[in-house]
Amino acid sequence: MDWHDIPSLAALRAFEAAARHESLSAAARELNVTHAAVAQHVRALEQDFAEDLLIRQGRGVAATAAGRALAEQLGDGFQTIAEAVADLRDRNADRPVNITVTPGFAGSWLMPRIGEFWSKHPEIQVNINPSCSVVDLRQEGFDLGVRYGAGSWPKLDAELLTEAAYWAVAHPDLVAGRAVRSLHDLTDLPWVMDSYEREQHRVVEGEGIDLAVLDVTLLNTNELALSAALAGLGVTVQPRSIVERDIRSGQLVKLMALRDNGLGYHMVTVPGRSSPNLRIFMAWLRRTAREDRENEKAPGGAGAS
């Protein structure tokens, strides 16, 4: 198809609506433009075709023979377009929600909570891809990304979901009798961390600690790092939600809360691209994050000291 030979689609829409309604004003209301804009589009088409398409008739307009033939075919074409769009939207309405999240967010925040979403919305399939890799949401078919940072990603919409609350923790025997005012008081101890958890690394570096000077054992998963800390093999930095239970049981002790430095987990989406299922899932994420914050502020909540 050579689009250079086809007049402006806006002009064709304006003419088809005017011919169907037999009124420039009614066409303008349907298209949410001015009467003058519709008239200008029709004149442009008549000049292009060197043919009258509409003539005045009473207070309205009527299509000429050539105009009727064009309007009928345009109507059929626009109806085909509308049906194709509706078909695609119907398919998108029921398709799974594909999300990419960091392993840290998946393990510490999403998985402990998503059972509630599945119980409320069993009709919505959510495909979760935990990965630290940089992905292109457009090219790789993801509807939503949850990423850690300051919220500035070019050509993408980012909405803060939750601040990342990290605690430095260790087995009680490892830090017995030690006063901890900052992470610098722990630099002489062994550390255990996940090789791929960039969030943890950035939080530690935000406290002015050079990871290169620490005695750090890097493990392949955060689960291994946490298990090593529980065995007394080193200090670790973990999301608060992961270690709260172990701290309450006395298996770990909270050494200090770490500054977030304005960083957090953001919902990242492609501007203008959405689906009903994605909107439902994002609304659940927002509500769950808000309820978490409210619980933290409540007396006796997780954030109470």
CA distance 247 to 230: 10
| pLDDT value, residue 245 | 80
The residue among 109 and 232 whose pLDDT is bigger is: 232
Residue 59 in any domain: the answer is yes
| pLDDT value, residue 90 | 63
Cα dihedral 269, 271, 274, 278 in deg (nearest 10): 20
Helix (H, G, I), strand (E, B) or coil at 161: strand
Whether the pLDDT of residue 275 is over 90: the answer is no
Percent above pLDDT 90 for the chain: 54
Identify the CATH number of the domain in which residue 181 sits.
Answer: 3.40.190.10
The answer to whether residues 149 and 292 belong to one domain is yes
Residue type, position 221, single letter: T
228 within 8 A of 219, measured Cβ to Cβ: yes
* Least trusted range by pLDDT, from 9-18, 92-101, 272-281: 92-101
Per the structure, how many domains does the chain have? 3
The answer to whether residues 153 and 275 belong to one domain is yes
CA distance 297 to 305: 11
Helix (H, G, I), strand (E, B) or coil at 131: coil
Residue that is last in its domain, among 93, 125, 140: 93
The answer to whether residues 40 and 107 belong to one domain is no
- For the segment 68-109, what is each residue's pLDDT rounded down to a tens digit? 999 999 999 998 988 887 777 666 666 789 999 987 788 778
The answer to whether residues 105 and 79 belong to one domain is no
Domain hosting 133: range is: 97-163+263-297
Residue type, position 92, single letter: N
Identify the CATH number of the domain in which residue 62 sits.
Answer: 1.10.10.10
| pLDDT value, residue 305 | 40
- For the segment 31-82, what is each residue's pLDDT rounded down to a tens digit? 999 999 999 999 999 999 999 999 999 889 999 999 999 999 999 999 898 8
Per-residue pLDDT band at 153 (split at 50, 70, 90): confident
- For the segment 158-217, what is each residue's pLDDT rounded down to a tens digit? 999 987 778 999 999 999 999 999 999 999 999 999 887 777 888 888 888 998 889 999
